[in-house]
Structure 1
C-alpha cells in the first residue's frame, strides 16, 4: 500500500515539475505551444530576443516583422510562430557563422495573436521573445492575388535581390521571390508555398538556411544581415519541387 501511495505522489509531482514557465503575454494557447515546440527542453523568456512589428496589422496579408537575437551568443536556430494563427509555424532560420541571428519578413495573420521568436543557443536553451499583434483577421483564409490572375505565371520564381554594406560592417541582403504562397485554407486552392531557401558565398560556404511555411506572405520579401565579401547565391525549393536560383553581387 505504501508503494502504491508513493507512485501516486510521483505521478502527480512530475507534470508539475515539467510545466512551462509563466507566459508574460498571457496567451491562452501558451501551454499548447510550449508542449508542441519545446517539450522536454529548457525555455527562458528573454528580452534579448526582440520581435519588432506594428502593434496592429494594417494589412493582415503582409505584416512586416523584424526578429533580432543579436544580443545572444552562439545562436543556432530561430523559430517564429503565432499562437492563435490556424497555421502557427511561420519560419525556422539557421544563421551560420557568417550571418547575424536576425531576419526580416512579412506574414499573414488570421486574428489577434502573440507572435513569438525563439532562439536556440549552442547550450540547447531556447530564449523566447514576442509581442501581441492586434488584427482584424482574414489573412490566412484570403486567396492570394496570384490565384485570381494568370499574369503571375509569367514572373513565377523570379528573384529580385539587392546587397549593400551597413555601417556596422555587415551587409544587408534583401530579396523577393515571386510566389503565391497559398496556405491551403482558401476554398478550392491547395497549399503551395516556398519551403526552403539557402544562401551561399562565392566560395561555396553556407551563410544561412531558411525553412518557410504557409503563413509567410505572398511574394516573400526577406532581409538578412551577412558577413564577408563577394557575391551571394540564392537557392530555393517549394512544395511542388520547383527550384529557384539567383546570384546577387555587392
Structure 2
C-alpha cells in the first residue's frame, strides 16, 4: 500500500508540473510546418523564441518564383553567431546559412520557391537562444522544379564562377558589397538535371580577416546575388571572395573599391 500511495503522489506531482509548464507560444505565421521546421533545421537541443528583431524582408506577392528577393536582417540582436534561413513549404526547405564575422548580421539574396510559404530566419545569439522571425511570401510556384536557363547554354561553362561586384558607402556608415556569381544553381528536382549549386563562400578583407561566411543550398536563385553590409570599423582597402560549389569547382576573386 505505501508503494501505491507513493506512486500516486509522484504521478500527481508530475501532472501538476506539466500543467504549470508554459506552452510554446503560437507561431506568428500560423504555419502547420513550424514544429517540423524546428526539428529539421535547428539542432535537437535548440531553444527558440519568436523575436520581432529578426526581420525577413520579402515581397508579399512574388511574380517570378525563380527569382524572389529576400533580405534577412538580424543586426538588432547582439552577438549573432549564425543565421539559418528556410522555407516551410519548399521541397528543399533549407536556403542559406550565414555566419557574420566582421560584417553585420544581414544578408540579401534571391531564392526559388515552389509554392507560397513562410520564409524564416533563425539567429543564434550570444544568449544561446535561436531568435526566429519570418514573413509569408505568396507566389504562383514551380520555381524549384524548373531547370535553370544556364544549364541549357554552353556560355555558363566558360564563365562558371565568374564574379562581378560593386562596393558603395552606406548612409549609416561603413560599406555595402554586392556580389554576383555566374552559376546555374540547379536544385536537382528538374528531370535529368542533377543538383549543382554553390555550397560555401567566404568574404574577407584584403588582409584576410573574415567578414562573412555563406553556406548555400539548392534553392538559391540562378547566378546568385549576395549583398553584405560592413560596419565602418571593419571596412578594408579591398575585399576577397573564395568558395566552391558541390562539384568542387572553386570561386575566387578580388574586389576593388
Q: Does 1:79 align with 2:84?
A: yes
C-alpha separation in 2, matches of 1:183 and 1:172: 29
Q: Does 1:60 align with 2:65?
A: yes
The unaligned stretches of length 5 or more in structure 2 are: none
User: What does 1:196-211 align with in structure 2 at a 5 Å threshold?
Assistant: 196-211=200-215
The unaligned stretches of length 5 or more in structure 1 are: none
Q: Deviations over 1:99-140 (max 9, x none)?
A: 011010000000010000111111211111101110111000
What is the CA-CA distance between 1:162 and the residue it aligns to?
A: 1.3
29-38 or 192-201: bigger deviation: 29-38
Q: Deviations over 1:58-87 (max 9, x none)?
A: 110010011111111111111100000000
Q: Does 1:183 align with 2:183?
A: no
What is the CA-CA distance between 1:13 and the residue it aligns to?
A: 7.2
TM-score (norm 2): 0.90
What is aligned with 1:21? 25
Instruction: Identify if the C-alpha distance between structure 1 residues 99 and 154 changes in structure 2 by more than 3 Å, giving closer, same or farther.
Output: same
What is aligned with 2:237? 230
8 Å Cα contact 1:20-1:34 kept in structure 2: no
C-alpha separation in 1, matches of 2:61 and 2:181: 26
What is aligned with 2:45? 40
User: What does 1:128-207 align with in structure 2 at a 5 Å threshold?
Assistant: 128-207=132-211
C-alpha separation in 2, matches of 1:70 and 1:108: 25
What is the CA-CA distance between 1:149 and the residue it aligns to?
A: 1.6
* Partner secondary structure for residue 36 of structure 2: helix
8 Å Cα contact 1:81-1:117 kept in structure 2: yes
What is the CA-CA distance between 1:156 and the residue it aligns to?
A: 1.1
Instruction: Identify if the C-alpha distance between structure 1 residues 40 and 154 changes in structure 2 by more than 3 Å, giving closer, same or farther.
Output: same
Q: Which runs of 4+ in 1 moved over 6 A?
A: 11-14
* Partner secondary structure for residue 81 of structure 2: strand
TM-score (norm 1): 0.93
Instruction: Identify if the C-alpha distance between structure 1 residues 167 and 185 changes in structure 2 by more than 3 Å, giving closer, same or farther.
Output: same
Please report the RMSD computed on the Cα atoms of aligned residues, expressed in angstroms: 2.2
